[in-house]
Structure 1
Amino acid sequence: MAGVPPGPDAAVPPGPAANGGTLPETGGPSGARAAAARFAPALLGLALGLLALGPALGPGFVLRYDMVFVPDPPPVGPGEGFPRAVPSDLVVALLAQAVPAQAVQKAALLGIFVLAASGAAALVPSRRLGPRLAAAAFYAWNAYLAQRLLLGQWALLLGVAGLPWAVRAAAAHAFRGGSGRSAGAVRRTGRTPGTTETPETPGALGASETWRARAAWPVRLAVALLPAAVGGFQAMLVSALAVLPVAATARGPAGHPPPAGPSGADPGEPPGVPETDRRPGEAGGRWRGGPAVRRAGGAAAVVVLLSLPWLVPALGSRAVTDPAGVRAFAARADGPFGTVGSLLTLGGIWNSDAGVPGQGTWWSAGVRLALAAVAVWGFAGTRAGRAAPYRAGLATAAAAGLGVALAGAFAPGALGGLIAWWPGFGPLRDGQLYLAPFALLQAVGLGCAVERWNSRAVAAVAAAVPVLVLPTFALGAFGRLAAVDYPDEWRRVQAIVNADPAPGALLSLPWGAHRAFGWNGHRVILDPATKMFRRRVLWNDALLVGLPGGGRLRVAPEDPATAGVDAALRAGPGAREAALARLGVRYVLTRAGDDTFRDAATVFTGPEIRLLRLDEGL
């Protein structure tokens, strides 16, 4: 908000307008105070991460639902099913060559909070620290992040945490000419404190500098999208949902016209290009169809390039998607205001075990709904919110994500029909995960609302409320997240199988996707055998999902090899081992008391698990 003096909690100036939402640097505190203010959002994120994870930061691994880290993970490629853990598993395996895998996990979990808080703060169009801390606290502590973490989707949350930075990078190309600096920006001149700065004049950016800035923009966007690229397909899809409309619609803040050449034209455009499609009444940067298409195309190219590690194996796999998954993974009410109210408060996840304790109470849900209303008003109705160059794009992404979530809940047949027509629409079945842009909009909107009040007390309350309305997310959601170590028998089996150079797959039994071990506090986790071995692991990725009205819905497996294993396991004694051997199975990992395979050689037996090797002559 140009021309508005900073309030009593003013902090470090945010830097040049290339950050996609802050104002030009005009001076401010320096030295230690400036450095402290600059890093305050990241430190707040670190503090919130320590508070939220609690016992999960102790020695051992945090194992819950999809969050499965194993000791000494092998660097292996994707299997035959949909590449859901690509490239996140490979990145973890490579990092685990240098540091223990449990340290990699803890760094990733803490990094989610730090990245989310600092990114949301950087996106708030304010020079003051209070609004930024309010946005940081909201984005790093909300029902969406809590529920997805309790579902174990750490890879998705990497992309969600990096989303503000991706939006910021996409909006940096807002100004015509692609420089990311307005004509009213100030140029740093290597000054010492107390000296003056020289304002840049229109036309100060030459054509060569403009083209260099344009060339650098995709690189900055790619760097900002790296967390999502590591996270894989869900993280990249959520990021693309926000980045593409922001890149296409971002504009300069009101009151700061874009840099222009001597004739007033875009210095990076060829002479004679007309200025068209300017939005009626727009006071800031101009919008034209051609540059918007180029920006969107460039952003799409970056997204596709970073998606190749999972996109190529996905297109080449034989994976199938069951349309019944739309109904199974549809958003559900987790509070007193129904499914719509749950989604507006960033909840509504399909798995009731992923809910934060007490989030469904009237007071918690009511305060969060009121907070959502204030945040949306702050984003759409305040001067700071209207000045954000990414405003239209982020609003479009938030509306689209909310629409996908609502469609899964209230029109599952439509989404199911799309999936039946082409399995590539399968990622839409879990519609609630696309609320991430809406969560970011609310975080920025809360910061804009705090900016409107210009009060330290209001800023302090706004930063505390997200934690106060979900206090049971603290300490690992009161024990739902905790660190444990694998029993020695698991490590011994891993060493035996990985030391065997002979080819052949490993079959993991019981024939189901999830396990609940006593040494893990009976928390449900994905079968850890899928991550431990250097050879292909055959497992049943079919899911049984409980429905709100009772009963369970079976979602068919994605890996086509499951059908052959199903048939082999139904064969009689003796024939069962031979059928599995024909499928290329060398090892069977099962429970210690399982005597189904009487013709197989026992390689290892422990208190809990038993490793068998099928006779090569079968």
Structure 2
Amino acid sequence: MGVVRRLWPALLGAGLAVLALGPALAWGFVLRYDLLFVPDPPLLPDTGGFPRAVPSDLVVALLSRVLPPELVQKGFLAGIFVLAASGAAALVPPERRLARLVAAAFYAWNLYLAQRLMLGQWALLLGVAGLPWAVRATTLPWTRLALALLPAAVGGFQAMLVSALTLMPIAIARRRVPVVALTLAALSLPWLIPALTSGAVTDPAGVDAFAARADGPFGVLGSLLSLGGIWSAEAGLPGQEAWWPATVRLLLVAVGVFGYVRLRASRDRPDWWSGLAVAAGLGFFVACLGAFAPGPLKWLIGLWPGFGPLRDGQVYLAPLVLLTAVGLASVLRSGVPAVVGVLAPVLVLPTFAFGAFGRLAAVEYPPDWRAVQRIVNADPAPGALLSLPWGAHRAFAWNGGRVVLDPATKLFERRVIWDDTLLVGLPDGRRLQVRGEDPLNRRAGELMDTPGYAARLGVRYVLLSGTENRFPSGPTGWTTVYKGSDLVLLRR
């Protein structure tokens, strides 16, 4: 019976995963914005620009050698909820069983997690889910800390930066800076080294594009304080802007912060209390920068592209989410209040359920995609693949019209040239263009309207994707090696 009780938070996380993912757990791939998995992913794709999917793509490819990639994706998605719930519960004294479930429920079901999942940022959320385990291990031997940081290490740069923001204040307070800093640095090397040598550039205009925005009735500050405020309207959930759920979400955070502050004078005060409080404050400050002080941030990014990750400041609300979960558990300790605390996160964010009411669903790739993948990957001749139409995202009918990053970017073993420019809608109706980070992709965009552009870029294949047999025009004089209902493949 004792083992079962210890597993209750993990079981709660599993239940929340089933409730949240719903139709996404059917056979197939869930494809939405950055949530892009492909069949038979290459182990070492030839990529350029900032290494955003390092080492997550390699880990997915390795696991896909022993398991169907469809199951690999579902394992990661469900694992986020289980890891988050069990980790938050582990920060609450074990004798407070219901309070542990309060922390578990809030940390695994909140607006921050929901919005980031709607943008498909599973790798970031994997690190965020493991954050409480890393906090718990900060004062333990480095081997335990490294193990706790593995989810963030798999997640890559964003997950590790959130972890560093959270753990370093704790390390300073506990005089563990060398151990924590070296562990963070060592686990960051897979993405840090290629980032420093990639030649990627960062457009300062991204500060305006990725600034926190009001997604409820209480303005930008109110949205951030309720753990929302993400820059993309496409990350929103149905009805989240209504005043009553927004009010309750804000009250939940207020109660959580109150409970956490009250822990300062409690005998149950954990040794990481002050460090997590500082991290939450710093994260909230960074989240406010783009919205309230964009000028200095643009200057920093123009000075050095390494400051680029600060432009999406809402990411750094993660320690505040964790602080709130722990604080709620300290207030809603037992009895009816604790039961209400377990149910409240779902009740105030009900449209996150069932795949966000259909926004997440599993589909299968049409046969054309596997066919062109086999042709291109079997060809030993050098040369890149150019993906057209020139645009970062696609909305396929077979994917229910859901927008997803171009699958060609992860499908082939050779260099893929694609438009990594991002178009972001602004509240006034305008669309802001954020130039891509990859120098080769930028050059391709500049040459796109010139004669012989594909040959000048060293292109071997051109992949044209379309619907209803309507395809973008490709370069003239090339040989058609495959033509299907969804894709046309040209070769030089």
More helix by share: 2
Give the residue type in structure 2 aligned to 1:377: F
Q: Quote the Cα distance in structure 2 between the aligned partners of 1:386 and 1:538.
A: 55
2:14 equivalent among 22, 46, 49: 46
User: Does the alignment pair 1:327 with 2:208?
Assistant: yes
1:159-194 deviations in Å (ceiling 9; x for gaps): 000000000000x34xxxxxxxxxxxxxxxxxxxxx
Q: Quote the Cα distance in structure 1 between the aligned partners of 2:78 and 2:56.
A: 16
When residues 316 and 240 of structure 1 are mapped into structure 2, their CA distance, relative to the original with a 3 A threshold, is same
Say which SS state the counterpart of residue 602 (structure 1) adopts. strand
Query: 2:476 corresponds to which residue?
Result: 598
Say which SS state the counterpart of residue 261 (structure 2) adopts. helix
Query: 1:297 corresponds to which residue?
Result: 178
Query: 1:433 corresponds to which residue?
Result: 315
**TM-score where L is the length of structure 1:** 0.78
Q: Quote the Cα distance in structure 1 between the aligned partners of 2:444 and 2:88.
A: 47
Q: Quote the Cα distance in structure 2 between the aligned partners of 1:77 and 1:83.
A: 11
Give the residue type in structure 1 aligned to 2:110: N
1:21-78 deviations in Å (ceiling 9; x for gaps): xxxxxxxxxxx2x111100000000000000000000010000000100011011156
Query: Aligned pairs, how many?
Result: 487
Aligned pairs for 1:455-604 (under 5 A) are 455-571=334-450, 575-576=451-452, 579-591=453-465, 593-604=471-482
Q: Quote the Cα distance in structure 2 between the aligned partners of 1:468 and 1:340.
A: 23
1:356-415 deviations in Å (ceiling 9; x for gaps): 111111110100111111100110114558611111100011000000011111111111
Query: 1:29 corresponds to which residue?
Result: none
User: Does the alignment pair 1:234 with 2:169?
Assistant: no
Query: 1:11 corresponds to which residue?
Result: none
Query: 1:191 corresponds to which residue?
Result: none
Give the residue type in structure 1 aligned to 2:262: G
Determine if contact 2:420/2:437 at 8 Å carries over to the other structure.
yes
Query: 2:299 corresponds to which residue?
Result: 417
Give the residue type in structure 2 aligned to 1:568: L
Determine if contact 1:125/1:387 at 8 Å carries over to the other structure.
no
Shift in Å, 1:432: 0.3
Determine if contact 2:25/2:362 at 8 Å carries over to the other structure.
yes
Determine if contact 2:46/2:414 at 8 Å carries over to the other structure.
no
Determine if contact 1:385/1:445 at 8 Å carries over to the other structure.
no
Task: Report the RMSD for the aligned CA atoms in angstroms.
Answer: 1.2
1:228-250 deviations in Å (ceiling 9; x for gaps): 00000000000111111112214
Say which SS state the counterpart of residue 477 (structure 1) adopts. helix
Determine if contact 1:125/1:384 at 8 Å carries over to the other structure.
no
Say which SS state the counterpart of residue 371 (structure 2) adopts. helix
Give the residue type in structure 2 aligned to 1:432: Q
Determine if contact 2:209/2:426 at 8 Å carries over to the other structure.
yes
Q: Quote the Cα distance in structure 2 between the aligned partners of 1:552 and 1:385.
A: 53
Shift in Å, 1:126: 5.2
Aligned pairs for 1:103-502 (under 5 A) are 103-125=71-93, 127-170=95-138, 172-173=139-140, 217-250=141-174, 292=175, 295-382=176-263, 383-384=265-266, 387-451=269-333, 455-502=334-381
Determine if contact 1:134/1:462 at 8 Å carries over to the other structure.
yes
Shift in Å, 1:598: 2.4
Query: 1:285 corresponds to which residue?
Result: none
Say which SS state the counterpart of residue 327 (structure 1) adopts. helix
Q: Quote the Cα distance in structure 2 between the aligned partners of 1:385 and 1:428.
A: 37
Determine if contact 1:384/1:448 at 8 Å carries over to the other structure.
no
Q: State the identity %.
A: 63
Give the residue type in structure 1 aligned to 2:350: P
Say which SS state the counterpart of residue 81 (structure 1) adopts. coil
Give the residue type in structure 2 aligned to 1:304: A
Determine if contact 2:45/2:412 at 8 Å carries over to the other structure.
no
When residues 491 and 404 of structure 1 are mapped into structure 2, their CA distance, relative to the original with a 3 A threshold, is same
Shift in Å, 1:568: 3.0
Q: Quote the Cα distance in structure 1 between the aligned partners of 2:53 and 2:136.
A: 27
Determine if contact 1:546/1:553 at 8 Å carries over to the other structure.
yes
When residues 374 and 357 of structure 1 are mapped into structure 2, their CA distance, relative to the original with a 3 A threshold, is same
Shift in Å, 1:549: 1.3
Determine if contact 2:464/2:474 at 8 Å carries over to the other structure.
no
Give the residue type in structure 1 aligned to 2:272: Y
Shift in Å, 1:557: 1.0
Q: Which has the larger radius of gyration?
A: 1
Shift in Å, 1:124: 1.5
Give the residue type in structure 2 aligned to 1:590: L
Give the residue type in structure 2 aligned to 1:538: I
Give the residue type in structure 1 aligned to 2:44: V
Say which SS state the counterpart of residue 503 (structure 1) adopts. coil
Determine if contact 1:605/1:611 at 8 Å carries over to the other structure.
yes
Q: Quote the Cα distance in structure 1 between the aligned partners of 2:92 and 2:268.
A: 11
Query: 1:5 corresponds to which residue?
Result: none
When residues 487 and 77 of structure 1 are mapped into structure 2, their CA distance, relative to the original with a 3 A threshold, is closer
Q: Quote the Cα distance in structure 1 between the aligned partners of 2:300 and 2:279.
A: 21
Q: Quote the Cα distance in structure 1 between the aligned partners of 2:230 and 2:442.
A: 30
Q: Quote the Cα distance in structure 1 between the aligned partners of 2:426 and 2:461.
A: 36
Determine if contact 2:127/2:160 at 8 Å carries over to the other structure.
yes
Shift in Å, 1:582: 3.0
**TM-score where L is the length of structure 2:** 0.97
Determine if contact 2:395/2:402 at 8 Å carries over to the other structure.
yes
Any unmatched runs of 5+ in structure 1?
1-31, 174-216, 251-291
Q: Quote the Cα distance in structure 2 between the aligned partners of 1:439 and 1:537.
A: 37
Shift in Å, 1:456: 1.7
Shift in Å, 1:561: 0.8
Q: Quote the Cα distance in structure 2 between the aligned partners of 1:518 and 1:81.
A: 29
Say which SS state the counterpart of residue 502 (structure 1) adopts. coil
When residues 594 and 342 of structure 1 are mapped into structure 2, their CA distance, relative to the original with a 3 A threshold, is closer
Say which SS state the counterpart of residue 332 (structure 2) adopts. helix
Q: Quote the Cα distance in structure 2 between the aligned partners of 1:42 and 1:460.
A: 17
Any unmatched runs of 5+ in structure 2?
none
Say which SS state the counterpart of residue 387 (structure 1) adopts. coil
Q: Quote the Cα distance in structure 1 between the aligned partners of 2:77 and 2:65.
A: 19
Q: Quote the Cα distance in structure 2 between the aligned partners of 1:608 and 1:320.
A: 33
Aligned pairs for 1:47-86 (under 5 A) are 47-77=15-45, 79-86=47-54
Q: Quote the Cα distance in structure 1 between the aligned partners of 2:341 and 2:412.
A: 47
* Greater than 4 Å deviation, 4+ residue runs: 383-386
Shift in Å, 1:563: 3.2
When residues 78 and 463 of structure 1 are mapped into structure 2, their CA distance, relative to the original with a 3 A threshold, is farther
Shift in Å, 1:570: 0.9
Q: Quote the Cα distance in structure 1 between the aligned partners of 2:20 and 2:446.
A: 45
Query: 1:613 corresponds to which residue?
Result: 491
Q: Quote the Cα distance in structure 2 between the aligned partners of 1:311 and 1:78.
A: 17
1:1-24 deviations in Å (ceiling 9; x for gaps): xxxxxxxxxxxxxxxxxxxxxxxx
Say which SS state the counterpart of residue 190 (structure 2) adopts. helix
Shift in Å, 1:450: 1.7
Q: Quote the Cα distance in structure 2 between the aligned partners of 1:160 and 1:41.
A: 17
